[in-house]
A and B are shown apart, each in its own frame.
Chain A
Amino acid sequence: MEPVRKFSGRLAPLPINDIDTDQIIPARYLKVTDKNGLGQACFSDWRYNADGSPKADFILNKPEYQGTSVLIGGHNFGCGSSREHAPWALMGAGFKAVISTYFADIFRNNSLKNGLLPVVVDEETHRQLISLAEEDPTTEVVVDLESQTVTLPDGRAVNFPVDAFSRYCLLNGVDQLGFLMGLDEQIEKYEAGNPARVQTVFS
């Protein structure tokens, strides 16, 4: 995995509360068996007309918001289905971070495993960022995982929380599975002390 450290990007405002993962990537696109190619289908039902043409008034179709890499959603972003296709689709559509006041638990976990940063900010900063992005599509923010800050155009740096382990893994480009694989002895010890209640395979 590529390390995630610091990047600057323009903002795409999508200030709708409770954006669920069915909107981010509808279920009919989940028949794939790899992670690639989902960017085109990101927000498919909001983004395209029935004939497949882009809806001109949807934020991601507006020329001035092309190339944005930080999405600002409403409160409670990513609720609903556990599909990891949601962060895959957002990353496929060019996003490196999503800003909200809070995220659904599973979406946040999935995003951190893939290097899509879920950035939680207070309500006032959230409102301010939405206004800035709506008024001026060239507005840029700097997201810095090392210092856990998002820096606004006025120079104000706002802290955001990330658990220490996810931060370490992302900064160093380390897959979390490697850490678990390293615990083999402890897992064996646990298993020896806790025999299975259910065995689906009988020898």
Chain B
Amino acid sequence: MTSNENGHPRTLFEKVWENHLVKPQTPDTPAVLYIDLHLVHEVTSPQAFTQLREQNLKVRRPDRTMATMDHSTPTTPKNSLGIIPVTDSMAAAQLDVMRKNCADFGIPLYDLGTENQGIVHVIGPEQGLTQPGMTIVCGDSHTSTHGAFGALAFGIGTSEVAHVLATQCLLQSRPKTMAVRVDGRLNQAVTAKDIILAIIAQIGVGGGTGYVFEYMGEAIRALSMEGRMTICNMSIEGGARAGMVAPDETTFQYVAGKPYAPKGAEWDRAVAGWRKLPTDDGATFDHEIVLDADKLTPMITYGTNPGMGMPINSYVPDPDKLSDVSQKVALDKALTYMGLQPGQKLVGQPVDVVFVGSCTNSRITDLREAARFIEGRKVASNVRMMVVPGSQQVKRQAEAEGLDKVFKEAGAEWREAGCSMCIAMNGDQLQPGQYAVSTSNRNFEGRQGKGGRTFLASPLTAVASAINGVVTDPREMTN
């Protein structure tokens, strides 16, 4: 599996791609790629199941398919019957359709309120469904998260959801590869989130279009699996459908013992195979960028896409200083929407809401860091702080460690698992004009509620801002 028959050194991406070719690309047809794991959620799948019914098709491999509910689900507490009430009739109807589709087609469903339900990109890894070397797809652009394990994982549309349900295959043109090397070591209070925000600020939201990223270098190796997931998660915000990290001991330790992980002799065989996945010496990429982790500071976004980010102590850029007319127009529009002035600092900007959650930053390590930072302190009186665990399992683990009490004592809300305010289609949302520091992945206009204004940042920056009631550099508060 290292190099191919010709001894040609290969990248991690090339190995996973070539291992899954049912039919290679020709001048007339794209490659046919076999999909090992298909994750399904309630929002992007109903029309795909309708197509299957219309054409009288079955799901080819329900055993390689898993469904959950996360996007349109409320995160309000369970009622006295132990049920999370869904008061939005359209959302309730959509969840019922998901239940019926899973029952009719034999797909396992992690239903709302059940013990392992959660955000699709949190539960795949925690169940051990996500493993190195796999191909993983989902009707969700943040499927790139799973690339942290050395899987090729990317988001697809609903037509492609139908393709995978019916055939377990996808038609794909081969993407280009970009090495994203992060050398050096992170300073105190600088996190994986700051790395990826810095990368996107450098390349822009379209910079990775057509590419699969491979993140490498000392700073990436030093990260936990959760940190690597945070980085791979936001690959799509740089335009890349997928981002990958070569598997190593950190990866194997994370996967070991998970419910769906291989056991016993199978585990040893699996690890031996996974060790052959990393990019060979001498393999080449179509493009390469390099960052120095030592020079990174906490990052924050000031605009209306994730590429509009800067070091937290910087000043909001001035559209008049841009030479490209279309960029000037875009920045003007963004600053008007955000209600910000060119040249102002964001530090000190009043904040209405702080959101800790989403498939980017809702895992147990994120919550531990946030809790450690807020323990013994209080959320400022002008701030609503929401902490939304990524899954029921994360929630249980956090509660076992007493993190829920830390958040509640500080004045934050502790909620049920789901996408929550990252997507604002489930009741959790900003009011028009409100400012949020959010650990999620998108600051698009209206993303967190119509008229809402989002500053994307790390959990540490979010917590520091919640305590002070204004955007705050977490290095000022490190304990």
A200 near B450 with CB under 8 A, answer no
Q: How far is the CB of A199 from chain B (nearest CB, A)?
A: 5
Docked complex Cα distance between A169 and B233 (Å):
32
User: Is A33 in the interface zone, CB < 8 Å from B?
Assistant: yes
Closest partner residue, chain B, to A196 (CB atom):
B64
Docked complex Cα distance between A146 and B349 (Å):
54
Within 8 A of A (CB), among B68-117: 71-72, 88, 90-91, 93-94, 97, 106-108
Docked complex Cα distance between A28 and B90 (Å):
10
Q: How far is the CB of B397 from chain A (nearest CB, A)?
A: 22
Q: Say whether, besides A74-B330, A79-B206, A80-B141, A45 and B28 are in contact (CB < 8 Å).
A: no
Of the candidates B22, B91, B239, the one whose C-beta lies within 8 Å of that of A31 is: B91
Q: Which of A5-13, A15-23, A91-99, A152-160 contacts B (4 or more CB under 8 A)?
A: A15-23
Which of B55, B167, B175 gathers most chain A CB within 10 Å? B167
A187 near B167 with CB under 8 A, answer yes
Within 8 A of A (CB), among B25-83: 27-30, 32, 34, 36-37, 43-44, 46-47, 50-51, 55, 57, 60-66, 71-72
Which of A30, A79, A114, A191 gathers most chain B CB within 10 Å? A79
Docked complex Cα distance between A198 and B446 (Å):
38
User: Is A54 in the interface zone, CB < 8 Å from B?
Assistant: no
Q: Which of B3-11, B156-164, B285-293, B381-389 contacts A (4 or more CB under 8 A)?
A: B156-164
Chain A neighbourhood of B445, CB < 8 A? 22-23, 45
A84 near B36 with CB under 8 A, answer no
User: Is A186 in the interface zone, CB < 8 Å from B?
Assistant: yes
Closest partner residue, chain B, to A182 (CB atom):
B167
B44 near A82 with CB under 8 A, answer yes
B30 near A165 with CB under 8 A, answer yes
Q: Say whether, besides A31-B90, A186-B23, A18 and B432 are in contact (CB < 8 Å).
A: no
B28 near A190 with CB under 8 A, answer no
Q: How far is the CB of A171 from chain B (nearest CB, A)?
A: 13
A196 near B36 with CB under 8 A, answer yes
| CB-based A-B contact count at 8 angstroms | 213
Q: How far is the CB of A159 from chain B (nearest CB, A)?
A: 18
Q: Residues of B within 8 Å of A, CB-based: how many? A: 87
A187 near B22 with CB under 8 A, answer yes
B260 near A190 with CB under 8 A, answer no
Q: Which of A55-63, A101-109, A131-139 contacts B (4 or more CB under 8 A)?
A: A101-109
Docked complex Cα distance between A168 and B27 (Å):
12
Docked complex Cα distance between A114 and B167 (Å):
19
B141 near A180 with CB under 8 A, answer no
Of the candidates A109, A168, A179, A200, the one whose C-beta lies within 8 Å of that of B260 is: A200
Which of A16, A18, A114, A183 gathers most chain B CB within 10 Å? A18
Q: Say whether, besides A105-B209, A198-B64, A165 and B29 are in contact (CB < 8 Å).
A: yes
Chain A neighbourhood of B106, CB < 8 A? 201
Chain B neighbourhood of A80, CB < 8 A? 141, 236-237, 442, 444
Closest partner residue, chain B, to A31 (CB atom):
B90
Q: How far is the CB of B400 from chain A (nearest CB, A)?
A: 26
1/0 per residue, CB under 8 A from B, across A22-44: the answer is: 11001110111111000000000
Of the candidates A27, A104, A183, A194, the one whose C-beta lies within 8 Å of that of B209 is: A104
User: Is B478 in the interface zone, CB < 8 Å from A?
Assistant: no
Q: Say whether, besides A180-B169, A200-B63, A110 and B157 are in contact (CB < 8 Å).
A: yes
Within 8 A of A (CB), among B244-258: none
In the complex, given contacts A32-B46, A197-B36, what are 4 additional A-B residue pairs having Cβ atoms less than 8 angstroms apart?
A15-B326, A105-B209, A197-B131, A201-B63
- Pairs A-B, 4 closest by C-beta atoms: A76-B206, A110-B157, A33-B46, A84-B157
